[in-house]
Chain A
Amino acid sequence: MSDDILTTLKILIIGQSGVGKSSLLLRFTDDIFDPDNQAATIGVDFKVKTIDIDGNLVKLAVWDTAGQERFRTLTPSYYRGAQGAILVYDVSSRASFERLDPWLQELNTYATKSNIVKMLVGNKIDKDRTVTREEGLQFARRHSMLFIEASAKSKEGVMCAFEELVQKIIQTPGLWESDHRTGFSLQEHSETEAGASWCNC
């Protein structure tokens, strides 16, 4: 099984406290939505899930960061080597949308891979929205991010978000091939660039 895995990708989920980062991840990995267990994340959580992208198995190591202010010192160190980042806001909370900028700044500052794939996710579309889809899309375009609206509760858009992100990473040359931790065979992607950006961790 592990021999068939094309690569392992490091994905980071960031965003304000309470926008549903952990719920999105739980829906994605375990297909669960648990309205009773919505305690704030302590520190950083971690989940692994293998998904099939166009016939290739890709292992996702997802780091789910805490949105709370007091853990902000912790998150920067987790950006190292990440190939993808999901920035989440809550469509029913104007405030969470307006505070996207500092997160994006942090992301741009600390990401070690310059071509890291960024995705904006508007969560909780099952609720009454205060942020329109158009606004979200504009923000994403302005910062060259992927964009998707989703609901961890209703399941809508969740799988799609992760799949799209992974696809984009796979299509980005030099972003993932050099990951030293994976044991994939070279001939599968012999077309890759020689000067891949080496992860120096």
Chain B
Amino acid sequence: MIPTARFVEVTKKYGRVTANEQVSFSILPGEVHALVGENGAGKSTLMGILSGFVRPDAGTVLIDEAPVRDATPATMLRHGVGLCAQHFHQVPTLTGYENIALGRAGKRGLFGSLRGDRKRIRELMQRYRLDVELDVPVDDLSLGERERVEILGLLYRDSRILILDEPTAVLAASEVESLLQTMRTLAAEGRSIIFVSHKLPEVLAVADRVTVLRGGRVVETLPRRDVDTERLVRLIVGGSPPRPAQWSAQVPGREVLAVRDATLGRLDGLSLTVSEGQIVGVGGVEGNGQKELASALLGYEPLVSGEIRFMGEPVKRDVRKFRRSIGVIPEDRHREGLILGRSLVENGALGRHDRSPFSSAGVLRWDKMRAHAAEIIDVYGVRPGDATLPARSFSGGNQQRFIAGRELSQRPPLLLAVHPTRGVDLGAVQFLHGRLLEERARGAAILLITADLSELEAVCDRIHILYRGRSFYEAARNEIDTDGMQSALLGLGPSESRR
């Protein structure tokens, strides 16, 4: 069979970091080809190269066995490559219809009509069961709907090579099932589907072949029948996976944080409490109030109604004082957790640089700041171990270790961790989970907001699943049933889950 797309020794470096090295493999017509690997293994860069957004330093991409030189998104589009990006390439202010028609808009002259083609889009919606509201700005759609708009756009442009980059990350279980179905239908028509995913059960359910990337290189390309979960994990991490952190029972102490009837944006009357020596997890599909909860606790926005109590005292005007007495691992380490252009010396003192010991009598103590950064680097195993390097020259996992180190070094009574392990390598995930459990043993209260259900199960004493801004499912660790949790993501009760 002639491959529709083939990578030949593709290499891409960003400064000193190698994203892809000598990558070679091919995509066949009519197959669902899964691409797996840890974060930072080079999957997204590779797909960027195939879709024309990223220019490789060396190597060639062949489409129908013909090399494509100096590819741009436009040329790749003409070759039939369509990318459904993880953080959708959409114009948020335009409607779904306008986003789909955008490519044609430029080719119809100054006043070319935007009408027409609605019929074709309707047909596509029906044929592939991709139902979505077309005349609403995509900003107002759910992530699942936005994804359907994106896929419709690819089909509208007749893409024969469809790249789906982490498409299931934002979907509920039933939506995932129907997306996998759509992928099989598309492959059956002879199209090539490249399915980039972290979720191995989905990969095993839908893929015909699997290519594993590690450290920017291809480890192996295998037919589906030759792999199982265990083998895939070994290939992905390169050896046996690190041992997961061990949870053990512990009696919680005094109540540290209490959120009552919190209402703000999508948050609609949420109540929860966290006590000393307890990890409380908040899960759910994104956009059900998690952001607002973090936002209220960080003091970005005041609650519309309800209250937050810290150590029994209501937090009102003294939000900043509250904020400065807790530790926070933020959602976005690049924009919030770090000042990328500054060295770890400054980053290590971030937020406490105006207090003792980092400043005394109104003067910065650079010596204390240097020593502190060096200590975090040492204790948290940050590599490379040079505090004078700017934060941007560290990998995601090392940045996250450093942030965790900074936030925990003050032994805060309360730690708020928002998606702490998103986008970091497995080693760092286990390390961070271990640290969270150690802090718990020390007696810290920890509120963990995450989209990862396995993370909730691994470390939490108690979980809440948010749905439409409320705690829709709540359970202590020993009462958690995975089915109930899954269906709660969609707002379904346990009895409805198996319909």
Physical interaction between A and B: no
Residues of A within 8 A of B (CB): none
